[in-house]
Amino acid sequence: MTDNKVYVDQDGKEMVQVNRGDGLAISEINKLGINQIIISTEKNRVVTARAKKLNILCLQGIKDKKLALAEYCTSNNIPLKKVAFIGNDINDVEAMEISGISYCPSDAHDSIKAISNHTLYTRGGDGVIRELLDLIKKNIGE
């Protein structure tokens, strides 16, 4: 959901840029009844605030995204084959491999592009979720 850049001020306060189109897309995906979750390796208050605003679950400080995803799916009775996972870097590999379908932004690490089922046209932070929403709607006939 970001361009993978973090802005840090002189006091160490971090900020990231987000795409409002992605925020709208997340709301629309929620309306479709599709569960969404952020699984992040880092802990960041900005991510917490964004997830809260968008009403989606956020797991942070996760060292093993594959395990976190599997546990979430098990506890919510979601078959892994029904999971669409968006990843952009090497810490996403294992979670992408157990998901039913995987996507990555156009500027993802080459190793992620190699294993992703679909490379999106959009760069990270420039509307990746919006592009995914369009694909979802196309596939459900909207």
Q: What is the pLDDT along the chain (142 residues), one digit of tens a residue?
A: 677 788 888 998 888 888 899 999 999 999 999 999 999 998 888 889 999 999 999 999 999 999 999 999 999 999 999 999 999 999 999 999 999 999 999 999 999 999 999 999 999 989 999 999 999 999 887 6
Under 8 Å between Cβ of 73 and 37 = no
Beta bridge partners of 84: 101
**Which architecture does CATH list for 18-139?**
3-Layer(aba) Sandwich (3.40)
How far, rounded to the nearest angstrom, does the alpha carbon of residue 88 sit from its chain's CA centroid?
Answer: 9
H or E element, residue 140: none
The strand pairing partners of 46, in sequence order, are: none
Give the predicted TM-score (pTM) of the model.
Answer: 0.89
